Amino acid sequence: MWIVRLALSRPYTFVVLALIILLTGVWSWMRTPKDIFPQIAEPIVTLVWQYVGVPADEFAKQITTYSEYTIGSAVSDVKRIESTTVYGKDVIRIYFHPNVRIDQAVSQITAISQTIIRRMLPGQTPPQIVQYDASSVPIMQIALGSDRMSEAQLYDYGQFLVRQELAPVQGAVLPLPYGGRPRLIMIDVDPVRMQAKGVTPNELNQALVRQNVNLPTGSTQIGDREYILSINNSPDKIDLIGDMPIKQTHGQMILIRDVADVRDGYNEQTNLVRHDGRTHPSGDQKLRASRHALVAGVRIAPAATRASERSF
């Protein structure tokens, strides 16, 4: 055959071609995405509204319905909207058409959510906005447990330390931990002591608002030196909250600790996770299908190990 005769007459040329094919094949094999999940082009954006203390039916009337209506009329390329409302929380899922510009859609949702806050409940905070698609599936579950830390401390550990260690993993989606107790500073009011001191809950709340504020500081120049100032406008320890004055009655100053107990507590727990017979926080490590699931899964384990070795 002619190709055999050509190879015999030009052996060096065919050796070089064979080496090029070999090197190109190895290079292509190394750059091939190592993935086990297909990419599904159905973009989804999730909004999470939160307002502690509002029942589900009132939450749906005050926040969910208005948010759905506004998003449906102001955001383009919306396919459908689904929502789930529970006590103090609402999750709205917005499904888009495959050809949508998801960055533009997220910007529109963010802008319209900031606008409608004014007509919602007093003190309503902006929603948490998360963008993912149908191929963002959990590939690993991380459970936190300790013999010396409470559920509230474990929740903070997972949110502020574990999530920060896993954040650099390419393609990882980091949901908040669930099953724990979100940490809060609680002020337990005693009605009997309040009645004895003549203090109302509104007076206690106003005293706390006036003395726990975030104000900008400045600097002052004394002589030829400039000093940075700090303001004692917010307590840095839990015990100091109890020393805040409420009002003065008959020449006696009434403090918060005289009518209430301040403690390091937690918010109302809405979900529970059990592992090995104990309750503790847990979280699913999710991944986008287009970001090499196998490689990311290998990198997540060492990151989780580093997080467990850090002190809290």
For the segment 129-165, what is each residue's pLDDT rounded down to a tens digit?
A: 887 766 666 666 777 777 777 777 777 777 777 777 7
Indicate if the pLDDT at residue 40 is higher than 70: no
Tokens of 128: 């948490």
Q: Tell me the mean pLDDT in the region 262-282.
A: 71
CA angle at residue 83 from 80 to 84, to 5 degrees?
A: 155
How would DSSP label each residue in the chain? -HHHHHHHH-HHHHHHHHHHHHHHHHHHHHHS---SS-----EEEEEEEE-TT--HHHHIIIIIHHHHHHHHHHSSSEEEEEEEEETTEEEEEEEE-TT--HHHHHHHHHHHHHHHGGGSSTTPPPPEEEEEETT-EEEEEEE---SSS-HHHHHHHIIIIIHHHHTTSTTEE-PPPBSS--EEEEEEE-HHHHHHHT--HHHHHHHHHHHS------EEEETTEEEE-----S-SSHHHHTT-EEEEETTEEEEHHHHEEEEEEEPPP----EETTEE--EEEEEE-GGG-HHHHHHHHHHHHHHHHHS--
Phi, psi of 18 (to 5 degrees): -65, -40
In this prediction, residue 289 has a pLDDT band, given cuts at 50, 70 and 90, of very low
In this prediction, residue 287 has a pLDDT band, given cuts at 50, 70 and 90, of very low
Q: Is domain 183-266 given the CATH code 3.90.1300.10 in the classification? A: no
Question: Between 308 and 155, where is the model more confident?
Answer: 155
Indicate if the pLDDT at residue 177 is higher than 80: no
Q: Tell me the mean pLDDT in the region 267-290.
A: 60
Q: Are 282 and 179 in contact (CB under 8 A)?
A: yes
Indicate if the pLDDT at residue 292 is higher than 50: yes
Distance from C-alpha of 204 to C-alpha of 137, rounded to nearest angstrom? 47
Fold of the CATH domain 35-135: Alpha-Beta Plaits (3.30.70)
In this prediction, residue 298 has a pLDDT band, given cuts at 50, 70 and 90, of low
Quick one: pLDDT at residue 243? 87
Indicate if the pLDDT at residue 2 is higher than 80: no
Among 1-15, 266-280, 289-303, name the one with the lowest average pLDDT.
289-303
Quick one: pLDDT at residue 239? 85
CA 240, chain centre distance (Å): 29
Distance from C-alpha of 112 to C-alpha of 20, rounded to nearest angstrom? 56
Indicate if the pLDDT at residue 285 is higher than 50: no
CA 81, chain centre distance (Å): 22
Quick one: pLDDT at residue 290? 45
Question: Between 308 and 188, where is the model more confident?
Answer: 188
Indicate if the pLDDT at residue 216 is higher than 80: no
Distance from C-alpha of 78 to C-alpha of 47, rounded to nearest angstrom? 14
The average confidence (pLDDT) of the chain is 79
Quick one: pLDDT at residue 38? 60
Q: 35-135 with 183-266: one CATH topology?
A: no
List the domain boundaries for the chain.
35-135, 183-266
Q: Tell me the mean pLDDT in the region 276-296.
A: 55
In this prediction, residue 175 has a pLDDT band, given cuts at 50, 70 and 90, of low
pTM above 0.75, yes or no: no
Give the full edge-to-edge strand order of the sheet including 137-143.
137-143, 282-287, 172-173
Q: Tell me the mean pLDDT in the region 252-277.
A: 80
Question: Nearest CA to 144 among 279, 247, 8?
Answer: 279
Q: Tell me the mean pLDDT in the region 23-37.
A: 76
